[in-house]
Every structure is written in C-alpha cells, then in structure tokens.
Structure 1
Amino acid sequence: MIEIVQSGPLNTVQDLGRPGYRAIGVSASGAMDPLSVRIGNALLGNEQGAAAIELQTYPFIVRFSVATDLVVTGADGVRLLNDRALMAWCIHRAVAGDVLEIRQPRQGSRVYITVANGVDVPVVMGSRSTTLRGGFGGHFGRPLAAGDRLSVVPAANEVARRSIAVVEPAAGLSAVFPAIANDILPVRAIPAGEHDLFGSDGDRFWRQHWRISSQSDRTGYRLSGEPIRLDVPMEMRSHGVVPGVVQVPPAGEPIIQMSDANTAGGYPKIAGVIEGDLWRLGQARIGTKIQFVRSTHAEARAVEQAVDRYVEDVSRTAEMVRRTLGVIA
C-alpha cells in the first residue's frame, strides 16, 4: 500500500484516459503529460497505460508499507526518498516505511509517480483515470488527500531495478520538438474548420505571442492576448470537441481544450494542436508564453511515430537490462 501523508488539491490518479464515451458526454480525462506516464511505465515493464499519480500541487508526501519499484517523471524539481535526493526518470526501490516527498518543481508543472504494475484503483469505463467533474474513476472520483491509501503490487523480486534510467524526452527527443526560445513555447497546430472565417485575424493568431491565463485547468487553457474575431459574427451548432482543439469564444481569446476537454461545443475552431505537442502544454505553467506554429498532418504523424519509437526503445532497453539483472527470466 501507499499512504498519502500530505497532498494539495487536484492531485489525482490518471492513466492514458478513457476514449470512446464522448457520445454520452464523458470526457477522456487521462494524464496531462501522457509521455511522462508512458516512459515511467516503459521503464518498469508495465503496460504503457498503467495508472500513475499525477501531481500539480505541492508538497506531496507518501509512505510505502511494502517494497515497491517506482519511477518519478515529469517536471524538474526536488524529489526526496527518506530525505535523500532521488534521480528522476530512473527506477528506485522503496521498502516498507520509506517516505517519498515531491516539492514544487523548478521547471514544468506536473510530476508523475509510476509504480510497478500500476496504481490499483477500480476500472471505470475501461480506465482508472479520475474525472473530477463527473466524480468517478481514480480514488473515489476525487483528488487525493492525507490518509488515503492506494493499493500497489509488492515487489516480487529481491533484485532492485534502480540501475535502469532514461534520458528525459526534452533531451532524448530534442530533434523532434522545437526548442523554447526567449521563454516562448512553440506549439504546432493545424488550421481547423473555421480558420478562414477569421480573415486577417486568422493570420495574427499565428504571429502573436499568447499567454496561458490563470483561468486555465485540466479542461482547457484560456489564452490572453490581443483578441481575434470572426470577420462576420455567426452562430454555430455544437460540434464534437477533443483535446488540442483551439476554440475562440466571442471575447476573442482562444481556449485550448486539454485532457478533461468538453465533449461538445459551439465556439468556432481556429486550429488543432498536434497530439505530439500536447504533453508540452501539459507541463506549461500559468503565465507561460506560447506561439502557435503552422503544422501539417504529415508532420503530426511523423512526430507521433518518433515518440512511439522513443518509448518502444525505452521499453526494449529496460527489458534487456531486467533480464541481465535476473529480474525476469
């Protein structure tokens, strides 16, 4: 078991989400930085979608009651196991009585704790993700709180797997993801259905620097900047919405739908962030400046393939090391 000793609001259990239920109004939810979850699970030999703990408020402190292999991924910050610094993107063995503390990250916003075999909470609609608005999934459909206990599978092998580590995605995939320059995060997107209805404002959407406002959460990021508007105001019927869709409400400041995206909406769509860049947005803090960069379906697919190859390489390498260490036959 893992006992939550201290937690702030909005820390939850998340996996890669529950697609397939938007038709009945259920958002997919899932990790805001799915790449961190995938890599943590790949290192541990889990299924890529095994449930993890997503942190966005700190400090977060847990106590282990059984031996457990774990990986901490995501934002760069202070990680302590029994008050000793813990390397991220690396497997560690916690034993009964050990205490893990995660403090406010120096960079990025969300930290993920993955454990061998995943966090064991009930499966709801094919997923263990917490959907806060619906009050289901995860740990009783709510944020984690002091005193909560999460089930994990005790380590079955005496050989600790702490020697297995990986280069974090920002470095390992530096050729795939544009660098942050002048504190501006480039976000690749593809023009969407109503893009041309914005006329010259549509061009300005790409040129200007937007800032993630304080009115942002797991549902969507509201951007502040010089408003953009349709050439001719019009009413639209509601349409399906997925993470990454960039909508423009009447006030003219775009909203990027995120992991807990609404399932439908009537605001015009100016663009869609490519799936491969959503994890970077998931790590962006309130106040981060972003600039949209025109992309193509071909580029979006190439990015997805590069990320998949990276995760698969991590998985194969970790398995080879585990065999060498005798952790698996």
Structure 2
Amino acid sequence: MMLEVLTNAPLNTVQDLGRPRAIPFGVSCGGAMDRNAFALGNILVGNAPDAAGLEIAFFPFRVRFRQDCVFAITGAPAKVRLDAVPLPSCWSMKARPGQTLVMDAPEKGMRSYLAVAGGLDVPRVLGGRATDIKGEFGGFEGRGLQKGDLLPCGGGKTGPMPANGVGLSGLAPLPDKNGMELHILPAAEYGEFTEQAQACLVQQHWRITTHANRVGFRLEGETTLQTRRPLNLLSHGLLPGTVQVPPSGQPIIQMADANTCGGYPKIGIVVEPDLSFLSQIPPGGYVTFRLIDQDQALARLRAHRQHLRQLAEQVSATKTYILTQ
C-alpha cells in the first residue's frame, strides 16, 4: 500500500514517538512535536502507539491514496478535503484508490498529523522511524517530503466504519496566540537565579519569537532572567522541555529535536503534556509559566496517559471506529 505525495513539502516529515534511548549517544529524541495529536491519530486508525505517521507543517499539502486505506487527521484544524468532501479535524475515513487528500492552512495551530492504518512502513534507525533532519537519517530518506515520493504503508486491518467516517469529540481546544499556561518543574540551576528572576519567570508574559522550530522556542519578555553570580557550567545533558537561559536572559524551551547537551543554566522543565500544546502556538503568541512540584507533575502526566489508554481500550473493545470522549 502506498501514499503518493503530490506537493513539495520540506517541513513535512515522517515522525513517530522518537528515539529516547538514543539520547545518551548524542542523538536527539525527535518524534512528533504534538505527541498528543499524534497519539490520537494512531488511536483513531487502531495503530500501535509508536506507528509512524506524517507531521504536516507546510501547507497546502496533497497526497493520493494508491490503495484502500483508513486514515485519520488530527492536530491543528486544517481545512481538509477528500476529493470534494470536506472533513473535520480529529476525523477518520476510508479512502479509495485514486482519491486525493488536500490539506489547506489550519485555522488555528501550526501542525497537523496524518495517520494511516498500519503506519508508514519506513525502516527503523537507532530504534525509531522519525525523521532527523539535522542528521539526515530516519523517516523517508532522511529528509522532508517531495512531490512524487511514494510512502509505503503497513496495510493494517481495520474494523467497520460508517460511510461518512467518525471522529473524536469534546477534546481540549488548541491554545491561540493570546497565550497558555505552561506547568514547569524547577530545574537544576533554579536556585542560582535571583529572587527577582524567579518571580518574573511566573509573573510576566513571554512572547514566542520567530526563532521557533523543532529544536527550540526562543522567548522574549520585558524583564530578563539573571543569575545571582556568573555561572561557568560544563555542557550537560538536555531533554525536550528544558528551559535554558542564555546570557541574554531570555529563555529557550528545548523542543522535540532538542540539543542533547548544552551549558546554559536551566531554570525549569516543562511537563510533557504541555509541550504538545506549546508546539501549536505560532510565533508572536504568548505563554506564562506556573511552577509545580514533582507530585503535581506526575499527576498531570498520569492523568494524560490514562485518558489516552481509555480511548485506545474503547477502540479495542468495540472493534469499531465510533468514538466520543
């Protein structure tokens, strides 16, 4: 089973849940920026959580189905059409051979996802199928998609589906440019920052600058964050969600393709569920920070994962694609 790419799309890539076990070797974790939307897509088509799909950040995007295929669209609510039929976001449909899926720019958010039953059948490299653009490996030939690419699919079996398709309802809305609250844990050097910096971190609004990509989001605030004394740190390990503060005093949030090491002091760690929503805020949007403790962070993470498990169990139990939240 094949998907034929009909548009050049260098920012659109094959992604999965990344390569967390490769981080000690200096390889970025990578994977989908909006892991929540990515997970919902795999749930809608009955895939395993780590099945590979498409992350779409450059629009318009068009693909043609070469064989029968059940697919799902999640993430930023793009204007989607299967031939002439408009489809909502978080929706699953069955496509016939020769049908074309067209995705225009989203009304809100930055990234949409296309999941297909059985996943995209690209080779595993260092334990994952995600595209590492910096390293030029993984995904489909280690690069963004180009017109004429033929993406092999796993051809997974699917259950019954209504002719008009089905989807998820009642999901949490995506944040807009007016801002969202990010929950963070204090990081290793939090205590090295002045009391004024610690207060400003959570009291002021931070604007996402145009320097925002899969590696990191640079923020800008009226008051900079300063340490109590000059710090000369050796490079140390980093993970997605790490909030670093360079000499400028303006924070950087490491994202999916985060650097694996760096020497800037760390003031906080954004909890995993919030990173998904952050990835959908465009440059010019605003965020605030709320400091929480480890127990609160674990509670948020467990609740998020339990919600996804419940949706997956519902699909498995009913053997259908009729889903509601």
* Category of TM-score, reference length = shorter chain: over 0.9
The structure 2 residue matched to 1:298, chosen from 292, 295, 320, is 295
How far, CA to CA, are the matches of 1:105 and 1:22 in structure 2? Answer: 32
CA deviation profile, 1:65-120 (whole Å, cap 9, x unmatched): 00000000000120111022112222200110000011111111100000001011
**Residue matched to 1:16:** 17
Letter of the aligned partner of 1:285 in structure 2? P
Secondary structure at 2:304's aligned position in 1? Answer: helix
**Residue matched to 1:183:** 178
How far, CA to CA, are the matches of 1:73 and 1:115 in structure 2? Answer: 12
Secondary structure at 2:44's aligned position in 1? Answer: helix
Is the 1:7–1:59 contact (alpha carbons within 8 Å) kept by the matching residues of 2?
A: no
**Residue matched to 2:266:** 269
Q: Does 1:322 align with 2:322?
A: no
**Residue matched to 1:229:** 226
**Distance apart, 1:9 and its partner CA:** 2.5
Secondary structure at 2:106's aligned position in 1? Answer: coil
**Distance apart, 1:322 and its partner CA:** 2.1
**Distance apart, 1:302 and its partner CA:** 1.2
Matches within 5 A, 1:56-71: 56-71=57-72
**Cα distance, 1:2–1:206 mapped onto 2, change above 3 Å:** same
**Residue matched to 1:205:** 201
How far, CA to CA, are the matches of 2:284 and 2:190 in structure 1? Answer: 25
The structure 1 residue matched to 2:278, chosen from 260, 276, 281, is 281
**Distance apart, 1:40 and its partner CA:** 1.2
**Residue matched to 2:42:** 41
How far, CA to CA, are the matches of 1:271 and 1:218 in structure 2? Answer: 19
**Residue matched to 1:131:** 132
How far, CA to CA, are the matches of 1:6 and 1:224 in structure 2? Answer: 35
| 314-323 or 117-126, which deviates more | 314-323
RMSD, aligned α-carbons: 2.0
Q: Does 1:165 align with 2:167?
A: yes
How far, CA to CA, are the matches of 2:17 and 2:35 in structure 1? Answer: 6
Matches within 5 A, 1:94-105: 94-105=95-106
User: How many residue pairs get matched?
Assistant: 318
CA deviation profile, 1:124-162 (whole Å, cap 9, x unmatched): 011100000000000011001111110113465694466
CA deviation profile, 1:181-231 (whole Å, cap 9, x unmatched): 991211110111111222111211111110111011100000012322212
How far, CA to CA, are the matches of 1:157 and 1:300 in structure 2? Answer: 36
Is the 1:188–1:277 contact (alpha carbons within 8 Å) kept by the matching residues of 2?
A: yes
| 149-158 or 96-105, which deviates more | 149-158
Structure 1 residue runs of 5 or longer lacking an equivalent are 172-178
**Residue matched to 1:246:** 243
**Distance apart, 1:163 and its partner CA:** 4.5
Is the 2:4–2:65 contact (alpha carbons within 8 Å) kept by the matching residues of 1?
A: yes
Q: Does 1:93 align with 2:94?
A: yes
Is the 1:69–1:160 contact (alpha carbons within 8 Å) kept by the matching residues of 2?
A: no
Is the 2:159–2:320 contact (alpha carbons within 8 Å) kept by the matching residues of 1?
A: no
Secondary structure at 1:119's aligned position in 2? Answer: coil
**Cα distance, 1:324–1:170 mapped onto 2, change above 3 Å:** closer
Secondary structure at 1:134's aligned position in 2? Answer: coil
Secondary structure at 1:215's aligned position in 2? Answer: strand
Letter of the aligned partner of 1:223 in structure 2? L
Is the 2:15–2:55 contact (alpha carbons within 8 Å) kept by the matching residues of 1?
A: yes
| 282-291 or 256-265, which deviates more | 282-291
How far, CA to CA, are the matches of 2:65 and 2:280 in structure 1? Answer: 27
